[in-house]
Amino acid sequence: MTTHDTSHTVHQNQESGLPVDLPTGSHATPVTPQATAQTGEVVAGKEPTGIGSFSTPRRSEQVKGVHSSPRISAKHLEKMASSLSVRDWSILGAAGVYRFVTARQLTLMFFHDHASDASAARTARRVLSRLRSLRILGVVERRIGGIRAGSEGMVYYLDTAGERLYRNATGSATRKRFEEPSARFMDHTLAITNLAAELHHHGRVSGAEIVSLTPEPRRSYTAPHGGTGRLAPDLAVELAAQHGAETISAFFIEIDLGHESLPTLINKAMAYEQYRASGEEQRQYGGFPRIVWVMGSPKFAATQRRIEVLSRALEEHPQIPHHLHTIITTKDAAAYLVKEASNE
């Protein structure tokens, strides 16, 4: 397993100048609404632990339609910002970072400190309803799991007020339009969010520390042909076996839900190898992460076939060191990552 020393884990976002991989609970970021929205970090009282630290992800696809509600004045927005709790800011930050997030995922991240799951769900419904009424959160028409999923299947995004608060907190000058996402884009985005939420659950159970979670981190390197190669894993993960541990296990995550062809996956694996061979990651961050392919599909047998095919292709490829790659199902991914960190 490749490990990173903690001294190498604070990265800089070249676009915003913000620290994007700051360890959860670090005092290097001041406890302000701006810092909380940037990182999604919860730091007050018995509030749940945060969701790590993040760069603002690329908006390769947006959500439909312009908001028709009355315009929110700057004065009203400022008053709203001062009234939000730390957990409210964390929820806002999660929606901003991950783009789409379900009620269940938000409950796993921020409402775990309750006497029962039912109590956590009730509190989450109440809080999310209030944030919707403030136009901080909006709901996508499509519900994950169908009508039987109830409120837990609702998919949230940043509404007008939430988007403005997030821009103010992160320094982003780009205004985003809300457009209805395709089913494929939604499924993939929610799979990333779900892995992050599950990591928090397994981390709490095991005592592991989530040092950072960064959706779609941008990496560039000098390609073999002399041009610039670009890479953006679905999620970059840094974990420690316990809070404060010096050894950090790092992973690049690629999520495949059965939509990509085998040649496309192999091309991605080759891009990772070219990036590793360039030494850029090692120079900046002290080591090269393990590459983890997280695979899933509606049918278990289909997932297993894809895992077998990809595994064989990686082993047989003469230019890919297959021992740097791990393939796991979506169901087992979070537990595997936390266990790997604990084994270091």
Mean pLDDT of 173-178: 67
pLDDT, one tens digit per residue, over 238-279 is 999 999 999 999 999 999 999 999 999 999 999 999 999 999
**How would residue 33 be classed by pLDDT, with cut points 50, 70 and 90?**
low
Q: What is the pLDDT of residue 143?
A: 62
φ, ψ of residue 22 to 5 degrees: the values are -70, 130
pLDDT, one tens digit per residue, over 92-128 is 999 999 999 999 999 999 998 887 888 889 999 999 9
- 52-56, 178-182, 281-285: least confident range: 52-56
List every span in the chain annotated with CATH 3.40.1350.
187-343
Q: What is the pLDDT of residue 176?
A: 63
69 vs 83: which has the higher pLDDT: 83
Examine the pLDDT at 12 and tell me if it is beyond 60: no
* pTM, two decimal places: 0.79
Q: What is the pLDDT of residue 123?
A: 94
Single out the residue of 33, 162, 38, 151 nearest to residue 103, CA to CA.
Answer: 151
CA distance 337 to 185: 24
pLDDT, one tens digit per residue, over 192-235 is 999 999 999 999 999 999 999 999 999 999 888 888 999 999 99
Mean pLDDT of 48-63: 41
List every span in the chain annotated with CATH 1.10.10.
19-181
What's the CATH code, domain 187-343? 3.40.1350
Element holding 56 (H helix, E strand): none
What's the whole-number average pLDDT of the chain?
A: 81
Mean pLDDT of 76-83: 93
**How would residue 68 be classed by pLDDT, with cut points 50, 70 and 90?**
very low
Q: What is the pLDDT of residue 342?
A: 87
Q: What is the pLDDT of residue 261?
A: 95
Hey, which CATH number is domain 19-181, 1.10.3470, 1.10.1220, 1.10.155, 1.10.10?
Answer: 1.10.10
CA distance 158 to 33: 16
